[in-house]
Amino acid sequence: MKHNFQFDNVDTALPVLMGSLLSAEQFDSRAGNTRELRHIGITLNRPWEREITLESRKANIAAQIVETMWVLAGRSDVAGLAPYLPRAVDFSDDGRTWRSGYGRRLRNFNGVDQLAFVAETLRTNPGSRQAVINLWDPTVDSTPGKDVACNNWLSFSSRHGALDLHVGIRSNDAMWGWSGINAFEWSVLLEVVAGLAGLEIGSLHFSTTSFHLYEQHWAKAGRIAGDRLPMLPTESPAFNATMMDVNEFDALVRQWFRLEERIRTGEVVDVEAFSEPMMQSWLRVLQWYWSGDETFLEPLVGTRLYRAALVGLAPAGEPQEPVKVPDGDPFLDHVNALHADKHAAYGDSWKRRGEPGILGNIARKVDRIDSGKDTSDETQADTAQDLMVYLAKYRCWLMGQSAVGWDEGNPLQVAEVLEAVPVIEHVPPLYLDEDLGILERATTRREKLEIVDRMLEQSMALARSLWLG
């Protein structure tokens, strides 16, 4: 049987792949009767045509969009997915996070932002063979749990100005996994990295050990295998990375999620003000999804995205109550409440003297931590928490130098920054004084942001440890 497939896009792939799976060998898996193709390759030559427009598939385009953005944002929280994927909590060991979520591993794998790494590597050396992202973490995935990484390895390569992405997968369900989210999310990642690196989009290739289909999906797979391809509409709005680096990209992603929440909870939002066309088009889909009003889709008429919305799962139709998940991080709740009180009392005094004044505040806190001593008016735990907040404010200030309308220092904005910092179980070696010296000598915003993020991880680990103690 053929084990290497080439297609233009997901639409042309699905009927062939489902037909091949239905005639494949059966085996008994933990999920029951399963048909499986082993050690197969699938190549999509036009991966930007990622939307499924086959009526028989009934894909949830809103869920695909939000989960993809969730991954790009580096998130692992169930709360971000639950309104679109109500069963998300079923795949969480603690009811709050996906322990093997790709977002955290993509954006913060033991302190490494792998998206930033591959984008910068390919921007400076397009022919590099080292633009690799690892999604399998043996310290987590080798232990039992509800969530074990299925997609394990991403390798980017560029020749003749076009960027390809090779995805290594140990186990891939054709219905829920590959066509449900993987082909969509990795095609977006390819498009984003290509844009940030200044390259064209090439092909998307999957190498899969077990490509399978559960018995509960065999009837649907038969309908897909017999489906006729529609007259293909035009392409959807493309990602525009003009003059954008990873930090600007992250600012857009955070802005996008603020608008997503407002749309989901029933607010009227003018998405025209959102500057990036691909993400803006996705906000239009969410406006339609939560209201059921097709007029929100009118600017997308004629695109693949428009058809995917109309032939996919029916929209929710009205704002819904958030799916309840366990309470958040008590430590961050404490810090955010403390900062909100101080912000109400002191306002914007922290940035009144500009960058030198902000760095001065940070330096004073670093000196107190280096002393290792409590004072009559401030404990080491207080100092570490204040340093966290000052660093988060400084990060907001740095982002605000290019982001129009950025609300610098606002408690909600600072809380977003702190929530993105990875939780480190043990206090790492502290190099705060050394990093502060590097920060004071840094000349570019990118350098400053990298150092601030490093100091944030150290100060949060210390503050959390002292607070718990």
| Residue 464 domain flag | yes
pLDDT at res. 296: 96
| Residue 156 domain flag | yes
Per-state percent for the chain, helix, strand, coil, to nearest 5: 50, 15, 35
Kindly name the residue from 62, 150, 154, 415 that is annotated as catalytic. Answer: 150
pTM given for the model: 0.74
Same domain, 210 and 304: no
pLDDT at res. 99: 87
Same domain, 301 and 389: no
| Residue 236 domain flag | no
pLDDT at res. 409: 62
SS (H, E, C) 18-31: HHHHHCCEEEEECC
- Positions of E strands within 101-185: 132-134, 151-159, 162-173
| Residue 321 domain flag | no
Same domain, 293 and 342: no
CATH of the domain at 53: 3.30.572.10
Per-residue DSSP letters for 188-222? HHHHHHHHHHT-EEEEEEEEEEEEEEEGGGHHHHH
Domain boundary among 190, 225, 260: 225
pLDDT at res. 323: 47
pLDDT at res. 343: 80
Same domain, 415 and 303: no
pLDDT at res. 264: 92
Same domain, 209 and 335: no
Same domain, 394 and 442: yes
Same domain, 157 and 257: no
pLDDT at res. 430: 86
Spatial contact of 54 and 11, defined as CB atoms under 8 Å apart: yes
| Residue 198 domain flag | yes
Same domain, 216 and 292: no
| Residue 231 domain flag | no
Same domain, 63 and 185: yes
Token representation of residue 90: 């079923």
Residue type, 88: A
Q: How far apart are CA 140 and CA 319, in angstroms?
A: 36
Helix count and strand count (H, E) for the chain: 16, 7
396 is catalytic: no
R_g (Cα) of the chain, nearest Å: 23
Domain interval for residue 20: 4-225
Spatial contact of 289 and 33, defined as CB atoms under 8 Å apart: no
CA angle 305, 310, 314 (to 5 degrees): 120
Same domain, 47 and 183: yes
Same domain, 438 and 356: yes
Average pLDDT, 10 consecutive residues per value, the chain (469 residues): 86 96 87 90 97 94 97 90 88 84 90 93 96 94 90 96 97 95 98 97 97 94 89 86 88 90 91 93 97 95 94 82 59 85 80 89 92 85 92 86 51 79 77 91 88 90 87
Dihedral sign computed on CA atoms, order 320, 321, 326, 330: positive
pLDDT at res. 445: 84
pLDDT at res. 425: 65
